[in-house]
Amino acid sequence: MTEFDFIRKYLQNQQQDHQVVLGIGDDAAIVRPKSGYDLCFSADMLLKNKHFFENVLPEDLAWKVLAVNISDMAAMGAKPKWVLLSAGLPELDENWLRRFCNSLFDLAQRFGMILIGGDTTRGDLVFNVTIIGELPQGQALRREAAKIGDDIWVSGKIGLAASALNCLLKRCELPSEVFQQCEAELLRPMPRVALGQAILNLAHAAQDVSDGLAQDIGHILTASNVGAEIWAEQVPTLPQLKESLSRGQWLQYTLAGGDDYELVFTAPESCRGALEAASQQTDTLITRIGKITDSGRLKVVNSVSDGLEIALTSLGFDHFG
């Protein structure tokens, strides 16, 4: 199979979208924005042995490559629409590529997204996705918008993916059912697109949890020039996971693990009822885990009632740390 066979056979025959003026096949794609909307762009790169293991199934790999990018759109409150996929592939293994593409298009179609271009070269296995989303003009959820007194909320359950990863790296042990539940989150995170859009007019600041909850909240604090208090015991978890880990491991994986692809956002107290409604309407668990404060720093305490401060050894993942 040649590069051009691959493009023709696997990439070109997709459902259409009336905003795509020109899709795959020319030197560049053209999309037409809707009036009254902003376009939102993001890119994320995934490297072998850094973001995925070499022996990962092509279905799981494709899912993760796209899901982590969709998650950035969710964090802006945007609707993901178009994708460009650049791939370095050691060879064009048709069976592997078919499985990869089936999974990629399965996830793309769930969100009504279209692959409009990319690049394919021979090389070490690497992917870079550029994703384009759409959102009502001027309404994006930005990191700089947190206000003192805001509640801090998080979606889903935190720390499962990091626990699975640490288990694979032999840094902890988990009962097999617990491991399987955690590994599913590590391999196939489900980006919170519906929630992101549902909180557009309610939340102040938002971001997705990719590198560790504490570190990612830290980005909101820095951008908004505020502080926060987080209540560790209120952070949603899997009870069996918490029982299986030491207290130190649980705190580390939950507060500083990463790979969750949940949303963390701030909103005024007056929005609590509307947020609970948005949570129900989008069938997405949300939990209040802290407050934005004027302290200028992130303070992690054991629980809201005891206020005992916890010192974390690391706040999250840093590629150059």
Residue 290 interacting partner from ligand ADP, Mg ion, none (CB closer than 5 to 8 Å by kind):
none
| C-alpha–C-alpha distance, residues 142 and 134, integer Å | 15
Closer Cβ to ligand ADP, 1 or 277, answer by number: 1
| C-alpha–C-alpha distance, residues 290 and 266, integer Å | 9
* Cα-based distances in Å from 171 to 79, 124, 240, 249, 318: 38, 28, 18, 9, 19
Closer Cβ to Mg ion, 9 or 272, answer by number: 9
Q: Give the residue numbers of the binding site for substrate.
A: 51, 259, 317
**Among 14, 13, 11, 30, which Cα is nearest to 22's?**
30
DSSP label at residue 48: B
Residue 258 interacting partner from ligand ADP, Mg ion, none (CB closer than 5 to 8 Å by kind):
none
Distance of closest approach, residue 52 Cβ to Mg ion, in angstroms = 23
Closer Cβ to ligand ADP, 133 or 212, answer by number: 133
Residue 78 interacting partner from ligand ADP, Mg ion, none (CB closer than 5 to 8 Å by kind):
none
Closer Cβ to ligand ADP, 121 or 222, answer by number: 121
> Which 118-157 positions form the footprint of Mg ion (CB under 5 A)?
119
| C-alpha–C-alpha distance, residues 265 and 152, integer Å | 6
Q: State which residue has the least CB distance to Mg ion.
A: 119
Q: Give the residue numbers of the binding site for ATP.
A: 118-119, 143, 210
116 in Cβ contact with 24 (< 8 Å): yes
Distance of closest approach, residue 62 Cβ to ligand ADP, in angstroms = 11
| C-alpha–C-alpha distance, residues 117 and 9, integer Å | 14
Closer Cβ to ligand ADP, 27 or 283, answer by number: 27
Residue 27 interacting partner from ligand ADP, Mg ion, none (CB closer than 5 to 8 Å by kind):
ligand ADP
Residue 212 interacting partner from ligand ADP, Mg ion, none (CB closer than 5 to 8 Å by kind):
none
Number of residues that bind Mg ion (CB under 5 A): 1
> Which 63-122 positions form the footprint of Mg ion (CB under 5 A)?
119
What strands, in cross-sheet order, belong to the sheet with 262-267?
206-209, 262-267, 151-155, 286-293, 227-231, 298-301
**Among 14, 85, 86, 75, which Cα is nearest to 40's?**
75
| C-alpha–C-alpha distance, residues 155 and 288, integer Å | 9
Closer Cβ to Mg ion, 119 or 124, answer by number: 119
Distance of closest approach, residue 64 Cβ to ligand ADP, in angstroms = 16
Which residues 6+ apart lie within 8 Å of 116 measured at CB?
Answer: 20, 23, 24, 29, 31, 82, 83, 84
Q: In the complex, which residues of this chain contact ligand ADP (CB under 6 A)?
A: 7, 11, 24-27, 85, 87, 115, 117-120
Applying CB under 5 A, which residues contact Mg ion?
Answer: 119
